[in-house]
Amino acid sequence: MAKISTQSRTDLFIHIGIIVSLLLVLFLGFFFVYLPFTTNHGEAITVPDLKKKSVEDLDDFLGDRDLRYEVDCTFVTNVPPLTIISQYPLPGSKVKEGRKIYVTVVSRTAPLIKMPKLTDMTHRSAQMLLKSVGLEEGNISYVPDMAQNAVLRQMFNGKEILPGQPIAKGSKIDLELGEGLGTAQFEAPSVIGMPLDEAKIAIVGAGLKVGQQMEIPAEEGQTPGSVVRQNPDAGNKVRIGDVIDLWVTPQAPQSTENESQPEQL
């Protein structure tokens, strides 16, 4: 067996240097040659852009790139179901083989939420509330009402929907808004002499509102239960939504079954 000469201090330092060099070579070789070779550490993969792809295509698409994936679901309106809307790591990131990609996918069915109360809100406020809870604004219609641009009714599929009722997220809500008094003027219709019920129908049909209804004693020739005075008077200029006050005579007394009958002879 060969012996290492250590007769002098110089020989000792030389031998120590050789040993340290060998250890350093082994250390560097382990981390920079052996580990990259066994773990594919040096083979970086660029993460592809998965947005707008269908989750049904991920198995083949990521499998060909030696990547895996994990899915989380959410619901988004106006986006096809099973569409990928976000991912992590982001597109263009460098990862090693086998890395898991986390994707968020649009679910097939919309969750149910409670219908909020929109009535008596302004149109703008109702729009903001609909958006915040995940609903959409549908058709807008206007009806004569002094509360201009205020929500009078909230409807879904042609029927009124009450606050608190369940509705699918993303549904379209139709709104009925007040038109206000408007600017166009027209002559007030005459309802003098009409029975009260008919007068109300005529007023509402003209886009006006029935105001106060005051009872006054009937004068000779006036029909019981009929309108004998109105304000504004017939022919005066009014606007959509204006109020018509009415003065009405008392209803005729109802006959009773207990009225005395003629004596039988």
pLDDT tens-digit series, residues 85-140? 899 999 888 888 888 889 999 888 888 999 999 999 999 999 999 999 999 999 99
Cβ 118 vs Cβ 75: under 8 Å: no
The reported pTM is: 0.48
**44: nearest Cα among 53, 52, 36:** 36
Residue 5 has pLDDT above 60, yes or no: no
**207: nearest Cα among 158, 159, 160, 244:** 244
Distances (CA, A) of 190 to 88, 117, 213, 228, 232: 73, 39, 16, 10, 10
The mean pLDDT of 223-239, rounded to a whole number, is 92
168-227 pLDDT, tens digit per residue, is: 999 999 999 987 766 668 899 999 999 999 999 999 988 888 999 999 998 888 889 999
What local confidence, expressed as pLDDT, does residue 154 receive?
96
> Residue 206: left (phi > 0), alpha (psi -120 to 50), or beta?
alpha
